[in-house]
Chains A and B, each alone.
Chain A
Amino acid sequence: MEILLQQIINGLVLGSMYALIALGYTMVYGVINLINFAHGEVLMVGALTSWSIIVTMQESMPGLPGWLLLLLATLIACVVAAALNFSIEKIAYRPLRNSPRLAPLITAIGMSLLLQTLAMIVFKPNYKPFPTLLPVKPFEVGGAVITTTQIMILALTAISLGVLTYLVNYTRLGRAMRATAENPKVAALMGVKPDMVISATFIIGAVLATIAGVMYASNYGTVQHTMGFLPGLKAFTAAVFGGIGNLAGAVVGGILLGLIEAIGSGYIGVLTGGVLGSHYADIFAFIVLIAVLTLRPSGLLGERVADRA
């Protein structure tokens, strides 16, 4: 029973991280119908930036408390990542907005590869230890263990979803976003500036990705230039799973995916009598995804779109 509880906690934490990243994916997709393959790399840049800030600040100002250091580094990394994502959209996606559908997809893949390579050149390809800044003493819940970092991840995802839902549903910017997603030309006639809305979407996406990246790094304790790829892929899967373009769907998809992965990898060995091991964990996500999409081609919470070719 304790194992199950522990796996549920692990799954929730993992799922919340996927959810945070998936929110960024789904917002961008919702507004301009583009799979932003570089999103995972923005996460990576955010995490690496915060890492280098933390390392330098620990040297120059050794007296600073850990949580403040983490907060400051995250804030600066958010600004860097937001500037980066803003420029990516402007350079690589905006000129292609009226081109064949696959063209921006290829520039997005190119961007992802470019960022990874540049990060490798700037930060060297080795794994770097991410300092532990929050108290390490874990809490016990009914025999299972949960760390401060994990609690923070859960809290941050809940807060982010709340803030985003408010933003999208009740603010001027949110209304402009929804209008642009519906039809950019008509939105422009109504006084919305689609370019500004799209830039804002990319900036918000970058902030979410950075928060997720820093949390990911402090949870696993390492950073590296390829760290964004797999979470990015999983988060995208989560976004599609929940119904891409739908905020609540991204969170539901992310958390379900995390739970399926954690519980699946914890129990597959027992269920199959040791024939299949936990290294099959990565494919659960995809098997569930395929099953769900076969039954509901637009995802769990997605609207039924008749034609989205």
Chain B
Amino acid sequence: MEKHKKTLLIVVAAVALLVLPLGLQWMGNFWVRIADIALLYVLLALGLNIVVGYAGLLDLGFVAFFAIGAYMYALMASPHLSNTFAWFAQTFPEGLHTSIWLVVPLGALIAGIFGAILGAPTLKLRGDYLAIVTLGFGEIIRVFLNNLDHPVNLTNGPKGLGQIDSITLLKFDAFGIPGLNLGRFLDIGDFRVSSVTLYYYLFLALVVLSVVICHRLELSRIGRAWMAIREDEIAAKAMGINTRNMKLLAFAMGATFGGVSGAMFAAFQGFVSPESFSLMESIMIVAMVVLGGIGYLPGVILGAVLLSALPEVLRWVSGVLDLQAATGGRLDPAILRQLLIALAMIVVMLMRPRGLWPAPEHGKSLQQVKR
């Protein structure tokens, strides 16, 4: 009986998730956009959850991997490299225009390598020391993105990279199939599916895949090793777990999610600049994981959706009520959004210190402060 219920629940959820963007689209593309962004944040939060939730390594520079993925795709799918470097233009006169089947694995791979590189010097560090070093890494990456327009113009500096191709699926040049360009709408009979809705389905597919990966990881030997490290590193080491490799693996695995969602972000926006990868973003992702329920997949997803989508909805509400005029210009939607995020972080933590949807069973490090 119990199993039937579970299957039914999954089917209902799947149908709801598939129909959702069509309903939102009817209300306006703005709403689908919010759903898209929320899915990207879910992807990021799932990645950080591997590092913070499973392995217990507090990473305050996670946005660096998001940035690396985004810039990787931006360089491979925009005319920037051909415009800047003559030799590149000679080799690829048309530009690279990378296919998604290359983007996703490559984004994962590059971010994963960076994850391991950034993780390596921090292996000896614990707790808050680790937090500040990872924060430093995030800032270093951002400063480089901001300044690598000179002497070699790689990132175009603060101006950012534009004209990034949208993603094209199912393209087979050999058979003359043009493929499905997600940057354009799609007509099915009389019904028009907008570009943002197409992206929604792509992101949803990635999120579902990630949830499956995370779930399997959690149950695997690797996942158990991570949790052992989180609970008590010295004991884990004594039991024969190679803590160094496991920590590096956690950093690398977490980073792959960041890299993939970064590449998706670049394709979706068509533009990247260092502004999107500030420290505040890293902090927001940590907040999503902790607010939802650290180390527990449903909680992490809930936290990401709430913190990314709710403020946008509230921004719309404050626009409708015209708060700006009512408060003499002091309270515009952007300020209100920030105010509500801040209040949510404080109030939720005070009321439910273990998160909104905490894991049913807890390790001891998640229950009490160790002194």
Contacts and interface: CB of A to CB of B under 8 A. Distances in A.
Interface in B273-323: 279, 283, 286-287, 290-291, 294
A227 to B, nearest CB: 16
Nearest to A185: B371
Interface stretch (B76-84, B170-178, B347-355): B347-355
A279 interface: yes
A110 B143 CA distance: 25
A297 B137 contact: no
A117 interface: yes
A282 B141 CA distance: 11
Interface string A75-97: 00000000000000001100111
A236 B344 CA distance: 25
Interface string A106-133: 1101110110111011001000000000
A280 B287 contact: no
Contacts, number: 157
Interface string A167-184: 000000000000000011
A117 B333 CA distance: 12
Interface stretch (B13-21, B33-41, B119-127, B191-199): B119-127
A60 interface: no
Contact of B233 (A95, A116, A309): A309
**Which residue among B52, B124, B129, B286 has the maximum number of chain A CB atoms within 10 Å of its CB?**
B129
Contact of A96 (B234, B335, B349, B367): B349
B338 interface: yes
A101 B369 contact: yes
B354 A99 contact: yes
A113 B338 contact: yes
B189 to A, nearest CB: 48
B227 interface: no
B186 interface: no
A308 B368 contact: no
Nearest to A29: B128
Contacts of A104: 349
Interface stretch (A13-21, A215-223, A258-266, A285-293): A285-293
B331 A100 contact: no
A110 B345 contact: yes
A309 B124 contact: no
Contact of A103 (B151, B338, B353): B353
B11 interface: no
Contact of B349 (A103, A121, A297): A103
Given A100-B368, A100-B369, A283-B143, A289 B343 contact: no
**Which residue among A99, A102, A280, A287 has the maximum number of chain B CB atoms within 10 Å of its CB?**
A102
Contacts of A293: 121-122, 125, 129, 133
A124 B331 CA distance: 10
Contacts of A97: 369
A286 B346 contact: no
A164 interface: no
A256 to B, nearest CB: 15
Contacts of B121: 290, 293-294
Nearest to A95: B350
Given A99-B369, A280-B147, A106 B133 contact: no
A210 interface: no
Contacts of A233: 135, 279
A160 interface: no
A277 B151 CA distance: 10
Contacts of A109: 283, 286-287, 345
**Which residue among A184, A285, A297 has the maximum number of chain B CB atoms within 10 Å of its CB?**
A297
Contacts of B346: 91-92, 107, 110-111, 114
A124 B143 contact: no
B350 A96 contact: yes
B163 to A, nearest CB: 26
B213 to A, nearest CB: 24
Given A121-B335, A282-B139, A100 B342 contact: no
A106 B147 contact: no
Nearest to B118: A290
B129 A240 contact: yes
Nearest to A88: B346
A110 B132 contact: no
20 contacts: A33-B128, A35-B132, A100-B294, A100-B353, A103-B354, A109-B286, A110-B341, A110-B345, A114-B343, A120-B335, A121-B330, A121-B339, A233-B279, A240-B129, A283-B139, A283-B144, A290-B121, A293-B125, A297-B126, A298-B129
Closest 10 CB pairs of A and B: A110-B345, A286-B136, A99-B353, A114-B342, A113-B342, A103-B353, A110-B346, A297-B124, A294-B121, A107-B349
Given A113-B342, A113-B345, A117-B338, 8 more contacts: A33-B371, A35-B128, A96-B353, A100-B367, A103-B354, A117-B339, A236-B132, A290-B137
